[in-house]
Amino acid sequence: MLTINDQRTALKLRRDYIPETAGIPAMRVGDAALSADIIGQAKGFFENGVRHVEIGGVIDFTAAGAGGHLVAALVLIRELTAYGLVVAWRARLPEGVELPLLLGHLHPPEHVTGVSYGTEIAALWQRRFYVGKCFWRRGPGFIEVRDRRMPRTTRLTIDDAEHLAWIDALSRGVAKAAVPGKVLADFTAMHLVHEVGDSVWLIPYQIRRWPSRPLAV
C-alpha cells in the first residue's frame, strides 16, 4: 500500500460525484489499497462505477526521500483525472511554488498547506482546472500532446523511436538514472516530465474520455 507521511494510505471509493457536504448520503463502494499497476487500477475503478476517490493522508512534496511514493500518488491522480473522476486529496507544497502550476491539469487538491499562500494556490488551481488541459493520444508511429496549461495552446508531435519507447515506462514512473540523458532532457524542455527525488514521471495523461465532441477538441 502507498505510504505518504508515514501513514498507511487508504483509497475511499464512491459512486457519486456530489460531495458529502451537499447533505446527500454517499454511495460508498468501499476502501482499496494502491495497486502495483496504478494505470490498470484506475481503469478498473472507472469500469466498476467508481466516480469519486479520496486519498488519505497528505501528499507531501517537501518530504525528503519520498520520490517513489510521491510519484505513485501523482500517477494515480493523473489517471483518475483522465477518466473524469473526482479526486479528493490534500497537498503540502514547498515555499516558492510559482504559477501557472506545472501540475494544474490534474484534478485540484481540496487543500494546500506548507506555503503561506496555500489557500490562494488551491483556489486558483480549482478555478483554472478542466479535463483535457494537458493530454496525449497515440497515432500510428507517433504521439500527439496538446498542452493548455499556459495561456497559449501547444501541440507537440513526438515520433522519434527512442522517445516513444520510453512513454509507457515514464507513464508509470521510473528511476531518473534509467532514462537516457537526451530523452530526459528533451521531455524536460517540453515540460512533459516531473522529477521527484531520484524518480521521474510523465505529466500529461493519455486521454480516456473526451470532455467535448471530438471535432471540438
| Domain range summary for the chain, segments of one domain joined by + | 3-128, 134-216
Whether residue 95 is predicted with pLDDT greater than 90 in this model: the reply is: no
Q: pLDDT of 133-175, one tens digit each?
A: 999 999 999 999 999 998 889 999 999 999 999 999 999 999 9
What is the C-alpha separation between 5 and 84, in angstroms, rounded?
Answer: 27
Residue 103 carries which side chain, given as an amino acid letter? L
Mean pLDDT of 15-34: 77
- Give the residue, 214 or 62, on which the prediction is more confident: 62
User: Half-sphere exposure (CA, 13 Å, Cβ side) for 136?
Assistant: 22
pLDDT score, position 216: 47
Give the cell for residue 74. 501523482
Q: Which of 125, 63, 57 is nearest to 89 (CA)?
A: 57
CB 175 within 8 A of CB 166: no
Question: What's the pLDDT band for 7 if we cut at 50, 70, 90?
Answer: very low
pLDDT score, position 83: 94
Mean pLDDT of 115-144: 93
Q: What is the dihedral of CA 23, 32, 70, 209, to 10 degrees?
A: -70
- Give the residue, 118 or 215, on which the prediction is more confident: 118
pLDDT score, position 78: 97
Mean pLDDT of 17-38: 79
User: What is the topology classification, in CATH, of domain 134-216?
Assistant: Arc Repressor Mutant, subunit A (1.10.10)
Reduced to 3 states (helix: H, G, I; strand: E, B; else coil), residue 53 is: strand
pLDDT score, position 212: 58
